[in-house]
Amino acid sequence: MSKALRNPLFLIGLPMLVCGFAIAAPGLWIPGMALAVCGLSKK
């Protein structure tokens, strides 16, 4: 998990995911989820 916190894709995707869920905007949480998952899976 510490590597994910240094990955820019994860760091951009996580706030988008949280904000998208908070205001119920699929235009934010769907790309946010995609970026966060890409950031987690990237080695």
Task: Spell out the domain ranges in the chain.
Answer: 4-41
Query: Residue 43: its pLDDT value, please?
Result: 63
Q: Contact at 8 Å (CB) between 16 and 28?
A: yes
Q: What is d(CA 26, CA 14) in angstroms, rounded to the nearest whole number?
A: 14
User: Considering the entire predicted model, what is its pTM?
Assistant: 0.74
3-state helix, strand, coil in the chain (%, to 5): 80, 0, 20
Q: How confident is the model at residue 1 (pLDDT cuts 50, 70, 90)?
A: low
pLDDT in tens, 4-32: 778 888 888 888 988 988 998 888 888 98
